[in-house]
A and B are shown apart, each in its own frame.
Chain A
Amino acid sequence: QVQLQESGPGLVKPSQTLSLTCTVSGDSVTSGGYYWGWIRQHPGKGLEWIGYTYYRGNTYYNPSLKSRATIFVDTSKNQFSLRLTSVTAADTAVYYCTRDVIFDSWGPGTLVTVSS
């Protein structure tokens, strides 16, 4: 059974770049035709899709974030990552990594706080 685990800094300064990694176990990021992606949830709020990518390069982003977000796969480590540039307090959220376009598996989530 696939398991996803997010990792990365819990605190990022405003204007800096948020970088998170999702480690996949029990599956390969190159198998099954799956897309691998990220969803976030602001404190006490609903879910916001960030984007997802296929390991061969097709990537889709939320238009509201597209200019700042990059999602990419590291096949050698069986991981995929999110980079979000020029962060502000509005990017403070729990970030989840997900598998497939139907989000059939989720990581437990990691809280990222943007603060100086």
Chain B
Amino acid sequence: QSVLTQPPSASGAPGQTVTISCSGSNSNIGVNTVNWYRQLPGTAPKLLIYLNDQRPSGVPDRFSGSKSGTSASLAISGLQSEDEADYYCAAWDDSLNGYVVFGGGTKLTVL
């Protein structure tokens, strides 16, 4: 059972926009920033979004992040076949002296 809750799966057709949610609480997302990672099959995860809505250099602007209250979202527009991957959210949790918590991951399928 992950501290942050993500839908296990999401899907969309090429060119469409897909949104993945990440739900937390007042001890994590409610008071700290959220990061998003993409993991292609058989590879290490890669940072996609940090500080809620910032894109690292090289990440296309098709990827955007947002946060409201105790929830965050990752939106992927102009869906491409290579976007098929697992997506994870993460945040610092202030409970138990503090630690990093992840969502359980969302498997995105491009139809």
Interface residues of A (CB under 8 A from B): 46-49, 60-63, 96, 101-109
Nearest A residue (CB) for B100: A49
- Could you tell me if A63 and B99 are in contact, using CB atoms closer than 8 angstroms? yes
Q: Are A46 and B103 closer than 8 Å at their CB atoms?
A: yes
Q: For the complex, what is the distance from the CA of A63 to the CA of B44, rounded to whole Å?
A: 24
If A63-B99, A102-B50 touch, whether A47 touches B88 (CB-CB below 8 Å) is yes
25 contacts between A and B (CB under 8 A): A46-B2, A46-B105, A47-B88, A47-B105, A48-B102, A60-B98, A60-B99, A61-B99, A62-B99, A62-B100, A63-B99, A96-B44, A101-B100, A102-B47, A102-B51, A103-B35, A103-B45, A103-B47, A103-B90, A104-B50, A106-B46, A107-B44, A108-B43, A108-B44, A109-B44
**B contact residues vs A (CB 8 Å cutoff):** 2, 35, 37, 43-47, 50-51, 56, 88, 90, 92, 96-105
- Cβ of A102: which chain B residues have Cβ within 8 Å of it? 35, 47, 50-51
Q: Are B99 and A104 in contact (CB under 8 A)?
A: no
Q: Which residues of A contact B96 (CB under 8 A)?
A: 63
Q: Which residue of B lies closest to A61 (CB)?
A: B99
Given A49-B100, A103-B90, A109-B44: 14 more A-B contacts, CB < 8 Å: A47-B37, A47-B102, A60-B99, A61-B99, A62-B99, A62-B100, A63-B97, A101-B100, A102-B47, A103-B47, A105-B47, A106-B46, A108-B43, A108-B44
Instruction: Report whether B47 and A49 are in contact in the complex, using a CB–CB cutoff of 8 Å.
Output: no
Is B45 a contact partner of A49 (Cβ separation < 8 A)?
A: no
Q: Chain B residues with Cβ under 8 A from A107's Cβ?
A: 44
